[in-house]
Amino acid sequence: MKKKILFMIGMMNVGGVEKSLLSLISTLPKEKYDITILMLEKKGEFLKEIPDWVRIEEAKWFEQIKPVILESPYQTINNYRLDKSYLKIVKFIFAYKISQKTDNRYYYYKQILKYIPSHTVMYDIAIAYQSPNDIIDFYIANKVLAKVKISWVHFDVSRFKMNKKLYEKLYESFNKIFVVSKEAESKLIERIPSVKNKSEVFYNILSKKLIGELAKREVEFDDNYTGLKVITVGRLAKEKGQDLAIKTLLKLREAGYEIRWYCIGEGNQRKELEKLIIKNQLGNDFILLGAVTNPYPFIARSDIYVQTSRHEGYCLTLAEARCLNKPIVTTNFIGAYEQIKEGENGYIVEANVEQLFEKIKFLIDNQQKRNLLEKNLNSTNIDTTKEVYKLFKQVNFS
């Protein structure tokens, strides 16, 4: 009989967490596993990349509670008043005040999700794949039946607004906490010491061979441009640091370098970044390519890969650039030193314009050094597909 596994995620936008889920599923044989992906909202460019043998479900109930989460408490109370749901007002105020007074949002979410129906299927494993995410973790912990429950931490919790008491309570319900890097695991244990005996590092699934094959696909990518191409991949968000990239490019152009910087990704910072591009007169030089489901041909056809993130949990895109033998400059976030050996396969700098400028300038001026980095990366076999056995081990426990 097939083992039933449930993955829960927000949606399937083009992003590192979503891509890592697709990579993980690709290692699970369909003849052995019955896979379901439960999404808070069934949307995103990566939806079409989910294999047809995987069941997709949407949490219809999320539509009911989304306004409560996004709006102010006062607006929620007013909405209940307009609906004449007076008992809900009393219970909501009580839960909200208790949560505030005790600094424990567990009571708050318990009230919000009180009338949400539990999942009716019994799973061998249920996975909150986008942790820490209050709604996803709470739902898997309290509303799903499973022999084994896993919370999968993809972020640096020291840089994430995480209610400590909420997660101390939630993690009691999980058998295992997977974390995507050693340093991210260390930060999690520092924040929630009680998870020490159930946490384990699980690196994102990567295959250098597969990424190399995908990189060979034909794309149009400024083929007539003769200058140097720098590329960055990541969601357009403050934490990804594309504003630093724009300001760094301005300094490089002012220093006389013939260079274009391409950015793959989409997000809520697009308008702000477009304004910054226009302000610095870089419309022809800093190119926002938008969301791309297969960024590998673009990375492969670039000269330098730069990661400008202010914080990460591991940074899948950095690992993918390594797979494609690109000279790398990355900012110093959690997991960077687990991937980059200074001067051997790339360089790590602080998340500021001056250090990014100096190191990129160094690589532009030193073709020989770029060649050495590429040579070192080419001789490195990057393959983490065996990480999946850590999940298989949990399946055996179920």
How buried is 179 (Cβ within 10 angstroms: 0-12 exposed, 13-18 middle, 19+ buried)?
A: buried
Does the pLDDT of residue 397 top 80, yes or no?
no
151 and 54, same structural domain?
yes
Mean pLDDT of 383-397: 89
pLDDT confidence band for 122 (50 / 70 / 90):
very high
359 and 260, same structural domain?
yes
239 and 331, same structural domain?
yes
Give the three-class secondary structure for 131: strand
333 and 254, same structural domain?
yes
- Number of domains composing the chain: 3
220 and 146, same structural domain?
no
Q: Which of 236, 386, 382 has its CA nearest to residue 318? A: 382
pLDDT confidence band for 398 (50 / 70 / 90):
low
pLDDT in tens, 169-215: 999 999 999 999 999 999 999 999 999 999 999 999 998 888 999 99
CATH label of the domain that carries residue 369: 3.40.50.2000
Written as six digits, the tokens of 93 are 């105020």
251 and 195, same structural domain?
no
Pairing of strands 122-131, 176-179: unpaired
Does the pLDDT of residue 265 top 90, yes or no?
yes
360 and 280, same structural domain?
yes
84 and 56, same structural domain?
no
240 and 168, same structural domain?
no
pLDDT confidence band for 249 (50 / 70 / 90):
very high
Does the pLDDT of residue 86 top 80, yes or no?
no
Return the residue matching tokens 């790590």.
Answer: 348
144 and 50, same structural domain?
yes
Mean pLDDT of 241-245: 97
Q: Give the containing element (helix H, strand E) for 371.
A: helix 367-378
pLDDT confidence band for 75 (50 / 70 / 90):
confident
- Domain span holding position 90: 70-110
pLDDT in tens, 358-384: 999 999 999 999 999 999 999 988 889
177 and 247, same structural domain?
no
Does the pLDDT of residue 342 top 70, yes or no?
yes
98 and 229, same structural domain?
no
What integer best gives the mean pLDDT of the chain? 93
Res 111: pLDDT = 87
